[in-house]
Amino acid sequence: MLPADWYLTADERGNPSTRLDRRHPDGRSWTEGNLVTPLVHGKAYFAALGERVSRMREGDLLLFVDWRGDPDQRLTGERGSEVAALFADAARRGVDVRGLVWRSHWDRLAFSAGENRHLGEDINAAGGECVLDMRVRLGGSHHQKFVVLRHPGRPELDIAFLGGIDLCHSRRDDSSHAGDPQPQTMAKVYGPRPPWHDVQLALTGPVVGDVETVFRERWEDPQALSRSPIRWAGDAIRRDQAPRRPLPPQQPDPAPTGPHPVQLLRTYGRRLGGYPFAPRGERSVARAYTKAVANARRLIYLEDQYLWSSEVSALLVAALRRSPDLRLVAVLPHQPDQDGAVSYAPNLVSRARLLDELHAAAPGRVAVYGIENPDGTPVYVHAKVCVVDDEWVTVGSDNFNRRSWTHDSEVSAAVVHPDFARSLRHELAREHLDTEADVPLEDHFGAYAASAEALAAWHRAPGAVPRPPGRLRPLDSPEQSRLTRLWAGPLYRLVYDPDGRPLDLRLRRTF
């Protein structure tokens, strides 16, 4: 199949107000000639980002977007590699540093308002400009995570990093899954230093201009960054919300660097007042999954933080029923990231319902696993990866749930290239199976099943035989009482997985 068989056309994106597709002179809604490098885990990403930013000089441009940013997060573990210090030092060298960080909800609800504000303070004091952006639907968030580095006069250095990894605590882990020395407090099951599994992409070539355009559309939105008078007053008292200066003119897209075509996909909810670049929102993430999953014939492999919602279930169930040889493998967190009385149950209730529907639709063709480190501690799966038939891959900030497909801001990169898709699936499988061998597509389902069963058998009788290789175990699915399901279900639908579509699309049950 050709890229055009997988990618959305500009019309299929469903957002004529964006300039993301109009900026391509050939009429395509994606770019050709890029080099996409997966950076599996935060340690690899942070090292690459730190090295690239340290080489920037006066006149260069650094743009970043984040859901959570911890100013003291060290990118290399060394003193002086803190995110705020790295970006502030760049600003002092004359780099034009601009940031859009989600304003966040109240810290007492386990969010990150304080951390995000302090990151901006440090950068602004050094001459950069980082603002707290709350232009979202009620209860929503800016969930995008990317960095763009442009170098006028040196376009060969231009690069974008895009995926699921925030610039914050707990993310700097690697395949050993010992956890980040700067941990984030999570559910007790993950221990004092939670292991963390995640993926980011390094992008070079013309697609860098597309990622920059995503930033520019948000930055140039003239609406107030918040509608709350309380926040206006707090900003005025603290003097920590910098004005948005116009960005310098956008440089021409970098020259081709590799063989990969890349399409950017996004979610923006339908917001009161609208976004100038998406008045009715944008749901190209959901639309792209709809098109790609319809093409699936052999294997859908996904790693995700959630896997919720009736819309996601309907899409996957239809694909499994349509293609009798299709198999689905999902790698998810064993347990939610928080174990509070209110947060724990809605996560599990929503996931259990979807998994029951998948198993019923395709008995023996759906397998769902969690992973653990060599010490037996569950690893929190935060990656947002999907590989379909070793043809189409997406990596980004969006999860498999209605919130990510309709409500919050998200961005991901889709790559249609068999070698890239196969290589990423192989890299992830080698880690989860503790093997150096590549797993052919036709053997993937069976290899994961055999490895997970061997480790589960060892846990049932530890010490009877040496621990087998592999990190996979059948997913923990604690049973929830009927009473719990009665209160957790509505809470899940209203708060945890809201619907950000316009009313007409909700009624038509489409994106």
CB 370 within 8 A of CB 197: no
Q: Is the domain covering 271-508 a CATH 3.30.870.10 domain?
A: yes
- pLDDT at position 240: 56
Helix residue ranges, H only, 239-378: 284-295, 310-322, 344-361
Distance, first Cα to last Cα, the chain: 24
Residues 6+ positions from 445 with CB-CB distance below 8 Å: 299, 327, 329, 365, 367
> What single DSSP character describes residue 383?
-
Whole-angstrom distance, CA of residue 306 vs CA of residue 337: 10
Angle between helices 284-295 and 310-322 (to 10 degrees): 20
Calculate the alpha carbon distances from 19 to 24, 72, 262, 285, 387 in Å: 9, 36, 16, 17, 28
CB 401 within 8 A of CB 347: no
435-460: buried (b, 16+ CB within 10 Å) or exposed (e) per residue? eeeebebeebbebbbebbebbeebee
Whole-angstrom distance, CA of residue 498 vs CA of residue 486: 18
- pLDDT at position 105: 44
Whole-angstrom distance, CA of residue 136 vs CA of residue 272: 9
Tens digit of each residue's pLDDT, the chain (511 residues): 889 999 999 999 999 999 999 999 888 999 999 999 999 999 999 999 999 999 999 999 999 999 999 999 999 999 999 999 999 999 999 999 999 999 764 544 444 555 566 788 889 999 999 999 999 999 999 999 999 999 999 999 999 999 999 999 999 999 999 999 999 999 999 999 999 999 999 999 999 999 999 999 999 999 988 866 665 555 555 565 557 899 999 999 999 999 999 999 999 999 998 999 999 999 999 999 999 999 999 999 999 999 999 999 999 999 999 999 999 999 999 999 988 777 788 888 889 999 999 999 999 999 999 999 999 999 999 999 999 999 999 999 999 999 999 999 999 999 999 999 999 999 999 999 999 999 999 999 999 999 999 999 999 988 778 999 999 999 987 777 888 888 888 888 889 999 999 999 999 999 9
Dihedrals phi, psi of 258, to nearest 5 degrees = -170, -170
CB 354 within 8 A of CB 309: yes
Q: Classify 292 as helix, strand or coil.
A: helix
* Domain layout of the chain by residue ranges: 21-258, 271-508
332-377 pLDDT, tens digit per residue, is: 999 999 887 777 888 888 899 999 999 999 999 999 999 999 999 9
Whole-angstrom distance, CA of residue 199 vs CA of residue 383: 5
Whole-angstrom distance, CA of residue 179 vs CA of residue 374: 12
Fold: same for 21-258 and 271-508: yes
CATH superfamily assigned to domain 21-258: Endonuclease Chain A (3.30.870.10)
> What single DSSP character describes residue 416?
E
> If 0-12 CB within 10 Å is exposed, 13-18 middle and 19+ buried, where does residue 382 land?
buried
- pTM metric for this prediction: 0.95
Whole-angstrom distance, CA of residue 218 vs CA of residue 168: 22
- pLDDT at position 349: 87
